[in-house]
Structure 1
């Protein structure tokens, strides 16, 4: 009989396993990052104000993704743990709970679309054109958020049983559709009306909805280790507790980043809309830079969770060491590219001279802060896998709200020099890495060495 897919998490050589599981995730996440960047490139061709509007909308858009990823990570890790203990009925029940939570989150963001989008945009700018663009874009993204919630969930269900190739298909199809539809809807090609910023939002949500439908089909046809059984289903408070214990910190970690971006935009507003637009480009580039590392760390979560459930300390240690090494190499490679080529990168976004003056030194300085980021990202996934929710949650709060934002505000008020502000990112990231070193050593001794 062919080996059950999830069993490779406990048997396959670790280097081959991590490579096999992470490559499809990395490819799909890079495609996702590319279409986010392409989205901004097309919007920038409308005007710098249009790009600024999308930039100030991004924190809420990122919160949607944060909660989608967070809850799905919780579902994925718990499901993998049950499979490691050979409890397939419980694993299938976890998957159904994931569907329920995705539906609830979709409804919450419909409410946000109806009542909170306009106040949020008006808090960040007084320019009527930017306000109009921002409301148009964010309203559509929130109203149709069900696409991204279910797309991410179905990807994580495939990933949790080792079917990462199909994860790549699910996300890749959605992203490719978005890339194709972006110029058609934004500029009105092939007889379609010119929708501008609205067109970018419509292309995004259509890509996500189609990706979700593809993911559902693949889980039904290919994922033999879980079943969506609704007959006799009842809500389990124990399963919900475990999902939230693992996934809520992941959601809140990314949500904290979104709130931090909101405050960063308000700090940069004193330097004009070009500063906000330039940082918006940097944030998208940063997402692209981190995607391969996130792919490795996401692939590591089911491996660590499965082997934790199976009581295999040796494989957990192998997975951690290999993930940290690969993540650091990838981060350094991307950092070098950004430091050497900031001018052609900014030209892709139709940067104005003012935006170029701000953006070139910004990219080079912030890139230095990436050195410890690979290690920190992998550590966050380790903490999630071991249910160290408090540790995982406090790291981004420490990095951004205790160190980064106060430093940025202090430097702005004392110097008025925008180039000095970017140094705050370097200080914050290195402090966060020291924090991760301490708690990784502690958790490994207390949760792995003592229990396995």
Structure 2
């Protein structure tokens, strides 16, 4: 059997979905990058405070995406089977889950911002800056949850251009308002981190309005209406819990693990916090295509299973794995070449800048592993129906290997932030060996009832 699928439609759909979702993700990351870079030019304390506050946003993002991924897996199968009413019901369930997560996170952050941020660092100035940002930013959580669930529903039926348009509008609004409000241009007061928070909140509200308008006026595939969100099919809800709960739990432990990683580096000084923020922001910017390939894979595999074309799944999975490796190698080269020019934009200490350069070098190597194992496990295996495996895999690697070893390096052995950072990212290579075996056994193709 040939290693590559001989079907032009497969490549066209995969690269189209990957490109558009990747551009959407790129612009979404650009929102954080604009905050990151403008505050980096404002002060290192402001940058560090907002970087820690954004760990809360990242955790919410992981939780909401967990709820949305369950929605996409189910809806893409229903799309393949042309079950439009079932897609509407899945959208209702996903929306309720997403909103519930947004409300819970808002309650915690609004009433206990200082307590939450003190988990990451003991630096009073950094915590104060983060609290200023969080008290405003937390009001965007519910809008983010609603927008994400609606875009996930549209993505499951291969409607992806609206996500790009929404993300682009958010980026433009955020950059303009950041310029005006952080530094006090055009007659507005200089608000610093509060200005950045107001800019992001405004952008989140407007993007939610745009998505509602698109669904009301232009969507013809699903025909979502408000009444579709007023009741839930109990049997479908049971299926969603069976399929989606392992994904939500996996994303939760991953999001918490990222927060713990930031806390470990955060207790190693302000320079380590700033360097980690810069390196990870650029990493997210460069790797959008990798994460987009996982989303595209989920839609393609799910739809193909829904269509009942099981004979195509094995060929698709083999070809996709090769494409992932090429994407990883290209991304690693780009990340390594970008580190010098990018760091020149930041007004930070030489220590932080040097650390950020070292962190980006490490990421340019580990990204090859990320590019293979992440879409292989979350794109192929999850959408095939085996949603529990990624949960177990992430828990073992992150909570039993990576975090304990990193904490020992940081606090017991007193090793440098660079060595600790290498430990924190080592799972991206180690998981590849698990992914190769799991994917190529092809025991992950399951129905919702299994």
In the alignment, is residue 383 of structure 1 matched against residue 381 of structure 2? Answer: yes
Partner of 1:3: none
Partner of 2:396: 398
Partner of 1:439: 438
In structure 2, do the counterparts of structure 1 residues 325 and 213 end up closer, same or farther at CA, with 3 Å as the change threshold? Answer: farther
Deviations 1:366-405 (CA, angstroms, capped at 9, x unpaired)? 3211121111121212222123222121233233222222
CA positional deviation for 1:230: 5.0
Q: Tell me the distance in 2 between the aligned counterparts of 1:89 and 1:269.
A: 48
Counterpart pick for 2:268 among 271, 287, 298: 271
Q: Tell me the distance in 1 between the aligned counterparts of 2:262 and 2:100.
A: 30
Partner of 2:288: 291
CA positional deviation for 1:88: 1.7
Counterpart pick for 2:151 among 151, 155, 162: 155
Q: Answer yes or no: is the 8 Å Cα contact 2:328–2:370 preserved in 1.
A: yes
In structure 2, do the counterparts of structure 1 residues 428 and 362 end up closer, same or farther at CA, with 3 Å as the change threshold? Answer: same
Partner of 2:408: 410
Q: Answer yes or no: is the 8 Å Cα contact 1:256–1:397 preserved in 2.
A: yes
In structure 2, do the counterparts of structure 1 residues 369 and 224 end up closer, same or farther at CA, with 3 Å as the change threshold? Answer: same
Partner of 1:428: 427
3-state SS of paired residue (2:368):
coil
Q: Tell me the distance in 1 between the aligned counterparts of 2:266 and 2:94.
A: 39
Q: Answer yes or no: is the 8 Å Cα contact 1:18–1:319 preserved in 2.
A: no
CA positional deviation for 1:40: 0.3
CA positional deviation for 1:185: 1.7
Partner of 2:3: none
Q: Answer yes or no: is the 8 Å Cα contact 2:402–2:427 preserved in 1.
A: yes
In the alignment, is residue 74 of structure 1 matched against residue 70 of structure 2? Answer: yes
Counterpart pick for 1:342 among 339, 342, 364: 339
Aligned ranges 1:53-92 → 2 under 5 Å:
53-92=49-88
Partner of 1:207: 203
Q: Tell me the distance in 1 between the aligned counterparts of 2:242 and 2:176.
A: 38
Aligned ranges 1:25-424 → 2 under 5 Å:
25-231=21-227, 233-379=230-376, 380-412=378-410, 413-414=412-413, 416-424=415-423
Q: Answer yes or no: is the 8 Å Cα contact 1:113–1:143 preserved in 2.
A: no
Most deviating of 413-422 and 399-408: 413-422
Q: Answer yes or no: is the 8 Å Cα contact 2:279–2:357 preserved in 1.
A: no
What RMSD over aligned residues (CA atoms) do the two structures have, in Å? Answer: 2.4
Q: Tell me the distance in 2 between the aligned counterparts of 1:104 and 1:343.
A: 42
Deviations 1:52-74 (CA, angstroms, capped at 9, x unpaired)? 11122222111111122221222
Deviations 1:101-126 (CA, angstroms, capped at 9, x unpaired)? 33323322331233232211123333
Q: Answer yes or no: is the 8 Å Cα contact 2:43–2:348 preserved in 1.
A: no
Most deviating of 248-257 and 303-312: 248-257
In structure 2, do the counterparts of structure 1 residues 16 and 42 end up closer, same or farther at CA, with 3 Å as the change threshold? Answer: same
Partner of 1:7: none
CA positional deviation for 1:22: 2.0
Q: Tell me the distance in 1 between the aligned counterparts of 2:102 and 2:446.
A: 36
Q: Answer yes or no: is the 8 Å Cα contact 1:399–1:429 preserved in 2.
A: no
Q: Tell me the distance in 1 between the aligned counterparts of 2:379 and 2:213.
A: 28
CA positional deviation for 1:286: 1.9
CA positional deviation for 1:322: 4.0
CA positional deviation for 1:303: 1.4
CA positional deviation for 1:86: 2.4
CA positional deviation for 1:341: 4.1
CA positional deviation for 1:446: 5.4
CA positional deviation for 1:78: 1.3
Q: Answer yes or no: is the 8 Å Cα contact 1:76–1:157 preserved in 2.
A: yes
Q: Answer yes or no: is the 8 Å Cα contact 1:249–1:389 preserved in 2.
A: yes
CA positional deviation for 1:139: 2.5
CA positional deviation for 1:308: 0.8
CA positional deviation for 1:305: 0.9
Q: Answer yes or no: is the 8 Å Cα contact 2:283–2:363 preserved in 1.
A: no
Q: May I ask how many residue pairs the two structures share in their alignment?
A: 439
Q: Answer yes or no: is the 8 Å Cα contact 2:181–2:196 preserved in 1.
A: yes
Q: Tell me the distance in 1 between the aligned counterparts of 2:183 and 2:396.
A: 42
Most deviating of 358-367 and 244-253: 244-253
Q: Which runs of 5+ in 1 are unaligned?
A: 1-10
Q: Tell me the distance in 2 between the aligned counterparts of 1:346 and 1:430.
A: 26
CA positional deviation for 1:221: 2.6
Q: Which runs of 5+ in 2 are unaligned?
A: 1-6
Partner of 1:5: none
3-state SS of paired residue (2:70):
helix
Q: Tell me the distance in 1 between the aligned counterparts of 2:251 and 2:317.
A: 22
In structure 2, do the counterparts of structure 1 residues 249 and 201 end up closer, same or farther at CA, with 3 Å as the change threshold? Answer: farther
